[in-house]
Each structure stands twice: as structure tokens, then as C-alpha cells.
Amino acid sequence: MNIQMFIRGWLVFEITGSYEKLGWMTAAGGLVGLLAAPLGGVVADRVRQKTHVIQAAGICNMLVTLWIAWLIAEGSLLFEHLLAASVLQGLVMNAMMPSRQALTKDVVGLDLLTNAIALNTSGMNTARLLLPGLAGGLVAALGGGHGYIDPAKWVYLVMSGLYLFAVIALFKVRVSDNPASSEVHGPFLVELGHGFRYVLQTPVIFMLLGCNFLMVFFSLTYFMLLPGFAKDVLGAGPDQLGLLISISGVGSLAGSLLIASLPNRRRARILLYGGFIMGVALLGFALSTNYWLSVLLLTFVGLGQAARMSLSNVLIQSYVGDEFRGRVMSIYMLEMSVLSISVYPISIMADLFGPQWAVGVSAVGLILLVLVLYNVPAYKYLD
């Protein structure tokens, strides 16, 4: 996934030279996620073996990457092909992720859930830190051939192999049948409606999902604006932009490893501490025009982001009923789809008032949200 986020955007820009087309790619993934993630939640709750859902998704992703590799080798790749691949893989990923999220509890149980999810987050952050650079290095090392984009076919073949490896490796994961699956047998849309009704009628779940969405909205908008922010405010080139992203990944990795070592106590308060650190660091980042100060501040942003990512997931999974786990986690996954779409009006704000104002207002919103939640006992004292 992390390799693909790099290589697909690079190919789009090589073929079209258009920032608008890059925006289309992001928005398309968000739009299909709005449809696929809730349906994926119903699937997660009604299948007996969630590993089968993840393996089927891996095979579909492998076929799509093989198709793109073949188009590159034939010299016939177009932007429309990449957009179609983005839509197909967005559908597959969002349909699969609720099963993947819910499977963690089935494998390790509730007692180890905090540690397991934090370790999973650290693995994701390591991948975000290393793999886009390795993919770029592979393209550079294999440059030449039939055209400048030709080496990308090898990256897609590597991805195909990794998808296949993941499918095979999952055969080693032994999990008991999902006992709640027998209770979820109605029509898809009816069961989906039951999931949304459960969220609305369960105050703690509604509060956790709603607050997490607001935190995501306020804390991740800076990342969407980062390329323009780095160039216009910090005077940074592409290599320095890459360092900014990597340093944020270092902070996230350190934060997720720290969370993985903590016991199952005071989890909501630790999440709020992380959110406050993230908000203050983001506000400093918005005000900074010094590159190295901005690098340091983004390290703390990554640290706080890791606490939010790990502990919001853990808290939701700790309080949700097993029969609704997949559907609730699918609503949790909707946050990224909504964020992909909501970045458009934020980008307009950045155009009108400048990126520093856009990031600064988001940071102030995050700080105020954390301060409000710290004074809500029903949230603050969740363990």
C-alpha cells in the first residue's frame, strides 16, 4: 500500500503533469471508500473466517497490479488506467479493512489489544518511512528501457509478489470461527442499518467515533497541504519535502512503540495528552518559517498522531459488542474517505488565506477539542 501510494502518484504526474489529476486520484479513493467500507463491515460481521476476506482482497490487488505492470510493459498505460486501478483497489481495500481491523481482537484477545494495535501501527509507520524511498530508488536504479516510466513495471511486479506472499502467509493464522457471524444473516442493507443504529444508540461508541473523526479532521489536513506548504513557506525542494515526511514517520514510529509498551490503563487520557502535543506542535509548525524548526515540530506531530491512531482504535474495539465489531470498525474506517473528500474546501482556504492560516486554524481547532474532552469525565476516564 505504501509503495503504491508513491508509485501511482509519481506515474500520474509523469504522464499528465497535472496537480488536478493527482487530486482526482485522492478524491476517487475517498468516494469509493464511502460505499465500500460500510458494506465491508457487514461482511466482517457475517463471515466465519475473516482471513478469507483478507486473502480474497490480496488476490484482487495482485491481479490489478499485474494488469498495470503489463500496460507499462506494453507502453500503453494511460491516466484513465491508473484512475481505474485506484477505484478498484479503493473498493477492495475499504471492503477488506473492517475484517482486518476486527481480526486483531480475534487473534490476541482484549487483554493484549492495546499492545497488538500499537505494534501494528508501528509496522505501518515503518513501512511509510522506508518503502516509498525504496520504490523510488528501484525506479532510479532501473532507469532507461522503452521509456522513462518503464522501470515502474518492476515496482508493480514486486507489489504483486508481496500481495501473493501475504495471501499465502495468512494460511498460517489460525482463528476460531466468529461466533457472532450466525447472528448476522439478514440482507446487507438491513444489517448495515442495524450497525448505524447500534452506533447511534450506544453513547460511548458514538462519542468515541465522533471525537475521533474530529481529531482526524483537525490533525491530518496539514499532510494534504504539505507539498505546497514546504515550497511556499519553507522554501524547500523535493528532497527536503521527503525529509519532512520521513521525520514525521520517525516520530510516529517512536510513539507507536511507546504505546505498545503501556498497560491497559488511562488510555483515553494518554490519547488526549498525545492530541494536545500534536495540536501545539502543529500550531508551531504553522507559524514557523525555519525549515529545521519545522522538521523538529513535525517529529512531535508524528508522536501525538501515533497515540491517536493506536488508542482510538483500541478504545472503540474495547467497548463494542462482538456482533457489531466489523460494522463499527467500518464506520471508523470512513474517516479517511471523508478526509480525502474534505481536503478540497481546505485547499480553497489555503489558496485564499495561505497555507499557514489553513494549518493554524486546524491546529487551534484540535487544541480546543482536546481541552473540551479533558473536561468530559465520560471520555477522560475511559480505560
Residue 117 lies in a domain: yes
Backbone CA torsion sign across 47, 51, 57, 63 = negative
Residue 335 lies in a domain: yes
pTM for the whole thing? 0.69
Q: What is the CATH number of the domain that holds 6?
A: 1.20.1250.20
Backbone CA torsion sign across 326, 273, 285, 342 = positive
- Provide the pLDDT for residue 169: 92
- Provide the pLDDT for residue 78: 87
Backbone CA torsion sign across 324, 327, 333, 335 = negative
In tens, the pLDDT along 234-244 reads: 776 655 666 67
Cell, residue 69: 505492470
Residue 353 lies in a domain: yes
Identify which of 334, 251, 264, 352 has the alpha carbon closest to the alpha carbon of residue 294: 251
Q: Tell the residue number behind the cell numbers 515550497, with chain if given.
A: 231
Residue 230 and residue 241 in contact, taking contact as beta carbons nearer than 8 Å: yes
Residue 73 lies in a domain: yes
Provide the residue range defining the domain that includes 123. 2-173+183-380
Cell, residue 269: 487520557
Residue 48 and residue 181 in contact, taking contact as beta carbons nearer than 8 Å: yes
Residue 75 lies in a domain: yes
Residue 270 and residue 315 in contact, taking contact as beta carbons nearer than 8 Å: no
Total domains present in the chain: 1
Residue 102 lies in a domain: yes
- Provide the pLDDT for residue 146: 40
Length of the chain: 383
Residue 22 lies in a domain: yes
- Provide the pLDDT for residue 274: 86
Report, as ranges of residue numbers, the positions in the chain whose pLDDT lies below 70. Answer: 6, 13, 17-20, 22-23, 128-129, 132-133, 135-137, 139-140, 142-148, 176-188, 224, 227-228, 236-243, 245-248, 260, 262-264, 335-336, 339-344, 347-348
Residue 178 lies in a domain: no
CA-based Rg of the chain, rounded to a whole angstrom?
21
- The backbone region for 237, taken as left when phi is positive above 0, alpha when psi lies in -120 to 50, beta otherwise, is beta
For residues 154 and 73, what is the distance between their CA atoms, to the nearest angstrom? 9
What single-letter amino acid sits at 104? T
- Provide the pLDDT for residue 145: 40
Cell, residue 284: 508551531
**Between the CA of residue 34 and those of 40, 41, 114, what are the distances in Å?**
11, 12, 27
